[in-house]
Amino acid sequence: MKFIVSSSYLLKQLQVLGGVINNSNTLPILDNFLFELNHNTLTVSASDLETTMSAKLDVESGDEGTIAVPAKLLLDTLKTFPEQPLTFIIESNNTIEISSNHGKYALAYANGEEFPRAVELEDPSSTTISGDILSTAISKTIFASGNDDLRPVMSGVFFQFSTESLTFVATDAHKLVKYAREDVKASQTAEFIMPKKPLNLLKGILSGNESEVLIEYNEANAKFTFDNTQLICRLIDGKYPNYEAVIPKENPNKLTIDRTQFLNSVRRVSIFSNKTTHQIRLKIAGAELNISAEDIDYSNKAEERLTCDYQGDDMQIGFNSRFLSEMLNNLNANEVQLEMSLPNRAGILTPIDGLDEGEQVTMLVMPVMLNS
C-alpha cells in the first residue's frame, strides 16, 4: 500500500485531528491516527472514545488498506518539513517508510482493525447551521460553563433547538450566558448537552468558515459534518437546570455604559481586590458609577469614577470581578446595559449594539454579598 501527499496539507489536517487525542490514554491504540486508504481518498481519524473526528484527504494512490500510525511521532516529523510531496509506503514488516526530497524515515504502525469504530447514529434528527454562526455561539457561551465533576450537566453547553430559533446556554451557577439566533431554525424541537472538548475543537475549525454544518443528534450522540470533516461525540447525560427560572424578569434599575471603559476600569480596580473573593463594589447614583475594591488584609484599595446613563434608585451591589470582566470581554458591543433589581439578585448584562440581525445575547452574573 502506497500513497503520495503534500506535507503541509497533511500536517494542517492532522494538527486539527490531534486535538482529540488525550495525553494519557487507557487504550494504547488511541495514541494513533487511523489511516484508511481508498484509492485517491485517505480518511484519517482520531478518537478518545468519547469524541471521534475524521477528515477526508486527497492523495495520489491506487491502493486500499487500513493502518494505525503513531500520532505524536508523525506530527513531530511533519512539523519539520518544508512544503513538498511525501511518499508513504507501507511495508510488510509493520513499518511505514516516508520518503521526502532529502531522506527516508521508518516508523512502526499498528493494526488498523484494533482502532475503535465511531458510533453510527440511529434515527437522528438534524439541523443545518452556518459554521461561522456555530463557532460564534460556542465562543459566546463556553466560557460560562462549569468545571464541577459532581454536576456534569453544567460542564457543557445546552443546545435548545426549536422551529422558531436556536438557543445555546451555559452556566456554572455563578454566571450564565444565553445566546439565541432567530434567523436560524430547526425542523423540530430538540435539546441536548454538548461536552466542552468537542465544542472547543469545532470552535477552532469553524471560526470564519461560511460553509454549512449538518448537525445530527439522538438521545446519546451528536454528529457534526462539514467540508471534508466529521465529528461524532457522546452527549452529556442528564437534565439541564431550568435556566429561565433564574433570570430575573423585573429589573427597574438600568445602567448604560461604554463597554471598553467599564471593562478597563473593572480590570484595574480588581487588582486591588481580595485575592479569594475578587470582590468589587459598584455604587451607582445619578449619572455616576463608582467602582471600588479593597483588600483589608494588605491595606490595598482602589476606586474609580465613571460617567454613565442610569435610570433607577441609587444602589450598591458587589460582583466577582473575574466573572464581570470575562463577560464584558466576550461582548463585541460599544455600549452595554446592566439591569439590576436588588443587591442580592442577579444582574443582567446585554449588548446595546454590535449584534447581527436575529442575534440575542443575555448574560447573567450573580452578586456577592458586600460586607458593609
DSSP string, 283-348: EEETTEEEEEEEEGGGTEEEEEEEE-EEES--EEEEEEHHHHHHHHHT---SEEEEEESSTTS-EE
**Same structural domain, 217 and 293:** no
**Same structural domain, 98 and 174:** no
What are 156-190's pLDDT values in tens digits?
Answer: 999 999 999 999 999 999 999 999 999 999 888 99
CATH number at residue 282: 3.10.150.10
**Same structural domain, 197 and 258:** no
**Same structural domain, 226 and 333:** no
What are 229-255's pLDDT values in tens digits?
Answer: 999 999 999 999 999 999 999 999 999
**Same structural domain, 219 and 196:** yes
Q: Is residue 147 part of a domain?
A: yes
What are 71-94's pLDDT values in tens digits?
Answer: 999 999 999 999 999 999 999 899
**Same structural domain, 188 and 295:** no
What are 205-226's pLDDT values in tens digits?
Answer: 999 899 999 999 999 999 999 9
Q: Is residue 120 part of a domain?
A: no
Q: Which of residues 225, 244, 263 is at a domain's end?
A: 244
Q: Which of residues 184, 216, 244 is at a domain's end?
A: 244
Q: Is residue 119 part of a domain?
A: no
**Same structural domain, 228 and 264:** no
**Same structural domain, 140 and 56:** no
**Same structural domain, 24 and 134:** no
135-142 average pLDDT score: 96
Domain count of the fold of the chain: 3
137-153 average pLDDT score: 94
Q: Using CA atoms, how far apart are residues 192 and 304, in angstroms rounded to an integer?
A: 43
Q: By C-alpha distance, which of 184, 186, 183 is closest to 217?
A: 186
